[in-house]
Amino acid sequence: MTEADTIPPLAPLVDSHCHLDFPDFAADLDAVLARARAAGVERMVTICTRLRHEPPVRAIAEAHAGVFHAVGTHPLSAAEEPMATVEDLVALAAHPRCVGIGESGLDYHYSPASAETQRRSFRIHIEAAQETGLPLIVHAREADADVERLLSEAHARRPFACVMHCFSSGERLARAAIEMGFYLSASGIAAFPRSESLRAIFAAAPLDRILLETDAPYLAPPPVRERNEPAYVAHTARALAPLWGLTPEAFAKATTANFDRLFAKARP
């Protein structure tokens, strides 16, 4: 038995960002999905990080009800993979269960030497989001200024939808994202005891711009002491609901409505 087997259900929930194709889930994916549904997680988006891994990511979405996928190249993979083209992404995004572009973005913490390659890849993903109308899924780490600049410049030319995945950046990027109509997605990081300043940023944002995610298998929220999985988004929902003065049930309903508005292709 895992901790996920004992979570009281909290519906309707959505895990807007997880990585179900990762080796961490190879041995027990069916059980992971069953635990998610038992916890109230009705839908999940499994995210592609390298385009050569898109076929197995897509296959998971095709094989399981309530699972959708996104296509893209992670910024930390941008220098190791063939550069995607806008045409590549647009073609892959036409799949009926593909609901987003990404994750893309900038990460100068682990890979500052590839910054220019990351920026080139990011621009391509932004253009694909503009072409398809699907939301852009953005990863930002120690690159707030460049992320804001590239998003703002592109949005001014041609607006597009976007979610700041696993948001843990500063207040300025949060404000800029909200002003452009983007969404902030809260992962288990926002529930960590040391994340008071991050919770303050979320609390200052409009409720109708908030999503929930796990980024599983990473970033498990308290009190989890094992691999993260979609069921644990219920812990994050319960931890953050008081920021808006809501019950966990009301917060789950609100964030799921936000997901439906942004990821329109994944609506029931």
Q: What are phi and psi of 104, to 5 degrees?
A: -130, -175
CB proximity list for 216: less than 8 A, separation 6 or greater: 15, 18, 19, 20, 24, 25, 227, 228, 229, 230, 232
103 marked as part of a ligand binding site: yes
The residue type found at 3 is: E
Q: Are 103 and 72 in contact (CB under 8 A)?
A: yes
Write the DSSP string, 87-102: HHHHHHHTSTTEEEEE
139 marked as part of a ligand binding site: yes
Q: Are strands 183-186 and 162-164 parallel, antiparallel or unpaired?
A: parallel
165 marked as part of a ligand binding site: yes
17 marked as part of a ligand binding site: yes
Q: What are phi and psi of 151, to 5 degrees?
A: -65, -45
CB proximity list for 13: less than 8 A, separation 6 or greater: 39, 40, 41, 42, 212, 233, 234, 237, 252, 255, 256
Strands (E), the chain: 13-18, 41-47, 67-71, 98-107, 136-141, 162-164, 183-186, 210-212
Our CA angle for 106, 110, 111, nearest 5°, is 65
**Binding positions for a divalent metal cation:** 17, 19, 103, 139, 165, 215
**Binding positions:** 17, 19, 103, 139, 165, 215
